[in-house]
Amino acid sequence: MANINDNTFIFHPKQETPTDKIVAYYTPIGEHEFLDNQNRPCAKTENEFVVAKTIKNGSRPTKFFVKVGPHGKLYNPIGLFSEGKNNKFLAKIGKKEWEFKEVNQQIFDLYLSFLSTKNIAWLNNAEREMM
């Protein structure tokens, strides 16, 4: 029988190590707080206008995320049908309609070109690359 004072059955969680996590948030032109060194519209913190982001975690490769709808379509902040729906929840299951999805750098760059210029051709090219 195990002794109550024996520490073999006590859960010891792993200590979290501090990471060098750097997150950059991107918005459509006109909703930005500043422009980065490549003239891309950015925000300082995540807010309702953020539609793309990058996460750099220490020495790991950078991860790229864009806002995508339930049918795999990229979020169009100037679009007729997606405008104003970025915060809505699907009624029955409580799931966000637009969520961040990890993509490759090429799709991310095409999408940011769309955000910077509002030229729909860049959005179409990004969506074509996602297929």
The model's pLDDT over 64-121, given as tens digits with 9 standing for 90+, comes to: 999 988 778 888 888 765 555 555 555 556 666 788 899 999 999 999 999 888 899 9
- pLDDT for position 52: 92
* Residue found under tokens 């809505």: 88
Mean residue pLDDT across the chain: 80
pTM of the entire predicted model: 0.75
- pLDDT for position 55: 92
